[in-house]
Amino acid sequence: MDILEQSLGRVEAPAELWDRVLEGRSSRRVSAPHRRAWIAALACAAAAMVWAMVNTPSLRSDDPAVVREWVKARTGMDVPLARSQSVRLTGARVVNSGRIELAYRAGDRAGVVTISRIENGRAHWGALAVDCQAPACGLCHS
Amino acid sequence: MVLEGRDRETIEACRRGDRDAFRALFESYQDRVYSIALRYTGDRAQALDIAQDVFVKLLKSMGGFRGESGFETWLYRLVVNRCLDQRRSARRWIALVEGFFGRSNAASALDDLLRSEMRERVQGAVAMLAPEQRIVVVLRYTEGLSYDEIARITGVSPGTVASRLNRAHKFLEKRLKRL
């Protein structure tokens, strides 16, 4: 097994070892290039979140007419909102051009209902698909 | 592995927190610690991490060394345990030309090339050994330790050391028979 002795012999430790021992850094510490990559990725993610928040229109209002106009102006969707005894509209948010979210309160419960556009054959506003939760029905239906 | 008087004094000084003594101890043992780590992992960066961890731990735990087993045995145990803790998934065996060429007195570039290729193949084969066999091979061939010394360090019987070495030899012979 001379070949093992020749191939697995002792080597000199790198000069940087002493500095690293003095630093006492954990071996699992992220290296500088990795750290920079993480910081850049986090910065991008934070910027994307801020951009999404700034560029996602939202409205706080309990007036169905105001919300209806606001939604129509931004998406072309004419949602027949109406005042209701049992449920109170509190705001709206445009998710994308074909989807909005309406926030409401029913008694002491808060909720959000999503309304999506369903295109008919002529590519016009045709119908509303509502993730219907019982209290939210009162936003449009009496 | 009996400590000489000077080493004994150095270790005593380290235990009292003498930084210069620790530097002297580091200078004495850094190549051994690094070499074991390098031969075990096959990766310079991982070997540096292991060696660093071992000396940091040594610095912190010198006070706990009671001299019952001998300093070198104690230090080897720190290195071996740290090597065995190294995650298997992190194993990477890459060409380890640096460090060898500096020592080589080969007459020609061809000699260097052949030696380098041989070492790579040997280290690649060693990397395929199970960790408990690999560490025994490293202690035997990098440090030249006896079966008894390896047994004390790894906490198994000399018979187990012999058995692991035997199995490792058979495996390596198969892998390296063309060399």
Cα nearest neighbour of B98 on chain A: A11
Res A56 pLDDT > 60: yes
In a domain, B3, yes or no: yes
- Shared-domain flag, residues A62 and A117: yes
Question: What is the number of structural domains in chain B?
Answer: 1
Res A27 pLDDT > 80: no
In a domain, A4, yes or no: no
- Shared-domain flag, residues A95 and A31: no
Provide ipTM, 2 decimals: 0.72
Phi-psi region of B144 (alpha: psi -120 to 50; beta: other; left: phi over 0): left
- Shared-domain flag, residues A68 and A111: yes
- Shared-domain flag, residues A15 and A35: yes
Average pLDDT estimate for A128-134: 51
- Shared-domain flag, residues A95 and A35: no
- Shared-domain flag, residues A70 and A96: yes
Amino acid at B164: R
- Shared-domain flag, residues A128 and A63: yes
Res A2 pLDDT > 70: yes
In a domain, B85, yes or no: yes
A71-100 per-position pLDDT tens digit: 888 888 888 888 888 888 888 988 877 778
B78 touches chain A (CB under 8 A): no
| Least confident stretch, A35-49, B21-35, B37-51 | A35-49
In a domain, A2, yes or no: no
B145 touches chain A (CB under 8 A): no
Question: What is the number of structural domains in chain A?
Answer: 2
Average pLDDT estimate for B90-104: 39
pLDDT number for residue B118: 79
B59-76 per-position pLDDT tens digit: 888 877 776 678 888 899
In a domain, B1, yes or no: yes
Greater pLDDT, B22 or B2: B22
Chain A interface residues (partner B, CB cutoff 8 A): 1, 3-14, 16-18, 20-21, 24-25, 27
In a domain, A114, yes or no: yes
- Shared-domain flag, residues A48 and A72: no
Q: Range of B30's domain?
A: 1-92
Instruction: Report the CATH number that the domain containing residue B23 is assigned in CATH.
Output: 1.10.1740.10
Q: From the list A1, A7, A20, which residue is nearest B119 (CB)? A: A7
B101-123 per-position pLDDT tens digit: 334 444 456 666 666 777 788 88
In a domain, A5, yes or no: no
Q: Range of A129's domain?
A: 58-139
Q: From the list A3, A10, A18, which residue is nearest B142 (CB)? A: A10
Q: pTM of this prediction?
A: 0.55
Please give the full DSSP string across chain B, using - where no structure is assigned. Answer: -PPPHHHHHHHHHHHTT-HHHHHHHHHHHHHHHHHHHHHHH--HHHHHHHHHHHHHHHHHHGGG--SSS-HHHHHHHHHHHHHHHS-GGG-------TTTTTT---SSHHHHHHHHHHHHHHHHHHHTS-HHHHHHHHHHHTS---HHHHHHHHTS-HHHHHHHHHHHHHHHHHHHTT-
Res A6 pLDDT > 60: yes
